[in-house]
Amino acid sequence: MIVIFLGPPGAGKGTQAAYISARRDIPQLSTGDMLRAAIAAGSDVGRQAKAIIDRGELVSDDIVAGIISERIDMADCARGFLLDGFPRTVEQARMLDEMLTRKGKSLDCVLLLDVDHDALEARRAKRVAETEAAGAPPRRDDDPATFAKRQGVYREQTAPLVPHYEAQGLLKTIDGMQPVEAVSAEIDSVLDAC
């Protein structure tokens, strides 16, 4: 089973992706984790990425796609995988489609966690308060300005994936406003039907 997870920052993707990964026994592939692993492994793509990062530049779509291509060829991905953080743009989605086609694979489902913007802000504020109450500094991405910027980037770059995958009949919308357990149950139901 090959699944993409979509949703704005703070929607609960990380929580639900970890649940799906454990429940379905498929790896959760995070682009950031894969990038760090490719660099640590010293693969060709990892060396290219390291050189770009060392220059303070963003890693190109081609390099990210190369890292994903290498990763999904590993044995633990034979039964499927969950993509979290890729694709982020329609162009990356096209690259992924081409890559999967070359490998004789295809997407089973794209899950969209649908959450109200005001609820996202409330979740961010709650995380900050809980973190500070525990005596730890808040996450950098929970800074109000940073959080707002991330929401804007999502709306501009990633939200266009919704109609893209909807047109392919792959998009399944999950009500992310429910309690965590209810969201997980809805995801299970949707994946059982994919």
Measured CA to CA, the distance from residue 35 to residue 59 in angstroms comes to 9
| Residue 55 is labelled as binding a ligand | no
- 3-state SS, residue 81: strand
| Residue 10 is labelled as binding a ligand | yes
Instruction: Kindly list the structural domains of the chain, giving each domain's residue range(s) and its CATH number in brackets, ordered by start.
Output: 2-27+80-85+106-188 (3.40.50.300)
Q: What is the pLDDT of residue 80?
A: 94
| Residue 58 is labelled as binding a ligand | yes
Distances (CA, A) of 96 to 15, 99, 193: 24, 5, 23
| Residue 24 is labelled as binding a ligand | no
Q: Note whether 171 and 3 are within 8 A (CB).
A: no
Q: Note whether 131 and 125 are within 8 A (CB).
A: no
Measured CA to CA, the distance from residue 172 to residue 103 in angstroms comes to 24
Q: What is the pLDDT of residue 28?
A: 93
Q: What is the pLDDT of residue 73?
A: 93
| Residue 150 is labelled as binding a ligand | yes
| Residue 88 is labelled as binding a ligand | yes
Distances (CA, A) of 25 to 3, 75, 185: 13, 13, 16
Q: What angle do CA 123, 147, 86 make, to 5 degrees?
A: 95
| Residue 176 is labelled as binding a ligand | no
Q: What is the pLDDT of residue 91?
A: 93
Q: Residue 89 phi/psi, 5° resolution?
A: -135, 165
| Residue 101 is labelled as binding a ligand | no
Q: What is the pLDDT of residue 58?
A: 65
* 159-166 contact pairs (CB < 8 A, 24+): 159/8, 160/89, 160/90, 161/6, 161/87, 161/88, 161/89, 161/90, 161/93, 161/110, 162/6, 162/112, 164/90, 164/93, 165/4, 165/6, 165/93, 165/110
| Residue 124 is labelled as binding a ligand | no
Q: What is the pLDDT of residue 186?
A: 96
| Residue 152 is labelled as binding a ligand | no
Q: What is the pLDDT of residue 9?
A: 84
| Residue 127 is labelled as binding a ligand | yes
Chain-centroid distance, C-alpha 192:
20
Per-residue pLDDT of the chain in tens (194 residues, 90 and over written 9): 999 999 988 888 888 999 999 999 999 998 877 777 878 888 887 888 788 777 766 678 888 888 899 889 999 999 999 998 889 899 999 999 999 999 999 999 999 999 988 888 888 888 889 999 999 988 777 888 888 888 888 888 889 999 999 999 999 999 999 999 999 999 999 999 98
Spell out the residues 6+ positions from residue 135 whose beta carbon is closer than 8 angstroms to its own. Answer: none
| Residue 92 is labelled as binding a ligand | yes
- What is this structure's pTM? 0.83
| Residue 56 is labelled as binding a ligand | no
| Residue 71 is labelled as binding a ligand | no
